[in-house]
Amino acid sequence: MPGKIVRYETHDLRFPTSLTGDGTDAMNTDCDYSSAYVSIYTDDGQVGHGMTFTIGRGNDIVCRAIEELSTRLLNKDPEEFFANMGKAWDYMCADPQLRWIGPEKGVIHIAAGAVNNALWDMFARARGKPVWKLVVDMSPEELVSATAFRYITDVLTPEQALAMLKEKEAGKKEREANVRELGYPAYITSAGWLAYPDDKVARLTKEAVGNGFTHFKMKVGADRAMDLRRGLLIRSIIDDPANLPPHLKDRNPETDPSLRGKNAGPTGAVLMVDANQVWDVPQAIEWMKELAPIKPWFIEEPTAPDDILGHAAIRKALRPHGIGVATGEHAHNRMVFKQLLQAEAIDVCQIDACRLAGVSEVLSVLLMAAKFGIPVCPHAGGVGLCEYVIHLSLIDYICISGTMERNVLEFATHLHEHFVYPCTMNSRGRYSIPVNPAEGYSIEMHKQSIAEYEFPNGSYWAGVAKEKK
């Protein structure tokens, strides 16, 4: 008898990052990085773990939504889901009453991301492969069947996607070998959180340069003078040849194709800035014109994430200044990405592994971005997101876009110690490739971390409550 899904567990996990200013930006000034975490179990011993990311209060609401969605999986044979993950995604999102309070957006949708990712984690573990390798080893037909296409066929049909994937088949083995050897290119955000004092920003930036990073991101939007000062401070460090590790000293930004159009400085260093949605459209344009001296490659989330035409207007206004536009971290679903691409509103597409409803929806966005020729540089600033998105970037490079020349995947230094299979960086500032056949989607947390940081009764939070009495 095949196994059946028989139970699930959710955990409201919150980490006190607000105490150190980690994760702070102009919109989100008081963040406790949090994980709405789910484990799904079968009666024959299989398990799948998934999570979605929040910044504190409300994490319990997401956990409740995860429970409602997980109930739809009970008593189902996981192998039937694994046979067609696109169909499984449709089923998971199809409860009409739960869909009503989305649809395909907000709490319900990010909860669906946790559940869909848990199912993919179970699938990969059952096959003894990391998720990226599971997908890379699929045939083009299998990959298309795993993708969510509803509402995007005016831009990309399954038939078109199949042709794209078949075109990339020939070089897959070579690309996989290449990225295993080199690692996947990354950029670092952890030096530029808004609440950090200048001396900490300077110290962390210099450390990041020494660790091989060539792309850096800084939070902006609270104070123009501070943004310019901090940007010039970071530039003074990343543009100084004396700070470079040996393997970067001979780099020529004039001839390096990976730096084309990125406003790179004399050492080949690239700076990006992120406003986290804090501006109106005219304000974003004027503010960024004043930050032109720090030579940013792009402004991320300059305005409301749903304002497609606003992003297009900002992009058009900033193009003469050599500044691009990036967004996607808060894009609700594949339809928002479809419109951003249709409206020529972005230079860089930034998927989020669990704001989109899991791997199946991410695949649709990767395919659309490849069709439009827009590089995908995923968001990964929160707990567990780095562990997730390295898998997605590998899928994009090996199967879909066929390039990582201009792509960089966000990296933040925080909270990796809570994961059984944490992501790691190599000495050249690149992500190491997940290779453990047991790790699935790399999102399983240590039981001790769950016991300590579950809210409100984990040992850490119980101690905080006791101190307040």
Among this protein's residues, is 379 annotated catalytic? Answer: yes
Q: Averaged over 249-263, what is the pLDDT?
A: 90
The answer to whether residue 287 sits within a structural domain is: yes
Residues 201, 92 share a domain: no
Residues 405, 269 share a domain: yes
The answer to whether residue 460 sits within a structural domain is: yes
106-127 and 85-92 helices, crossing angle to 10°: 150
Residues 84, 194 share a domain: no
Say yes or no to pLDDT of 320 above 90: yes
pLDDT for the residue 20: 87
* Cα–Cα distance, 17 to 415 (Å, whole number): 9
Check 219, 262, 311, 332 and give the catalytic one: 219
| Overall number of domains in the chain | 2
The answer to whether residue 359 sits within a structural domain is: yes
Residues 451, 427 share a domain: no
Among this protein's residues, is 129 annotated catalytic? Answer: no
Write the burial class of residue 130 (CB in 10 Å: 0-12 exposed, 13-18 middle, 19+ buried): buried
Convert the pLDDT of each residue in 39-54 to its tens digit: 999 999 999 999 999 9
Of the two residues 318 and 251, the one the predictor is more confident about is 318
Say yes or no to pLDDT of 182 above 80: yes
* Cα–Cα distance, 117 to 11 (Å, whole number): 15
* Cα–Cα distance, 26 to 371 (Å, whole number): 33
Work out the pLDDT band at 274, boundaries 50, 70, 90. very high
Two tokens, residue 143: 């990959």
Write the burial class of residue 91 (CB in 10 Å: 0-12 exposed, 13-18 middle, 19+ buried): middle
Say yes or no to pLDDT of 282 above 80: yes
Residues 122, 195 share a domain: no
Provide, rounded to the nearest whole percent, the portion of the chain with pLDDT above 90: 92
* Cα–Cα distance, 86 to 160 (Å, whole number): 16
Provide, rounded to the nearest whole percent, the portion of the chain with pLDDT above 70: 100
Please report, for residues 95, 140, 144, the alpha-carbon distance to residue 400 in angstroms, rounded to integers and kept in the order given: 31, 10, 11
Say yes or no to pLDDT of 1 above 80: no
* Cα–Cα distance, 116 to 134 (Å, whole number): 15
Convert the pLDDT of each residue in 101-138 to its tens digit: 999 999 999 999 999 999 999 999 999 999 999 999 99
Residues 225, 92 share a domain: no
Residues 127, 68 share a domain: yes
Residues 272, 354 share a domain: yes
Residue 459 sits at φ, ψ, to 5 deg, of -60, -35
Q: Averaged over 60-75, what is the pLDDT?
A: 98
Check 379, 391, 414, 418 and give the catalytic one: 379
Residues 378, 230 share a domain: yes
pLDDT for the residue 250: 82
Residues 464, 395 share a domain: no
Query: Range of 359's domain?
Result: 172-432
Instruction: State the number of CA atoms in the 13 A half-sphere of 199 facing the CB.
Output: 0
pLDDT for the residue 28: 84
Lowest mean pLDDT among 365-369, 445-449, 464-468: 464-468
Residues 203, 107 share a domain: no
The answer to whether residue 164 sits within a structural domain is: no
Residue 398 CA from chain centroid, whole number: 18
> Would you tell me how many other CB atoms lie within 10 Å of the CB of residue 117?
31
Q: What is the pTM of this model?
A: 0.97
Say yes or no to pLDDT of 350 above 70: yes
Write the burial class of residue 321 (CB in 10 Å: 0-12 exposed, 13-18 middle, 19+ buried): middle
pLDDT for the residue 2: 66
Residue 44, domain CATH:
3.30.390.10
CB-based contact 214:258 (threshold 8 Å): no
* Cα–Cα distance, 62 to 143 (Å, whole number): 29
Residue 201, domain CATH:
3.20.20.120
Convert the pLDDT of each residue in 388-407 to its tens digit: 999 999 999 999 999 999 99
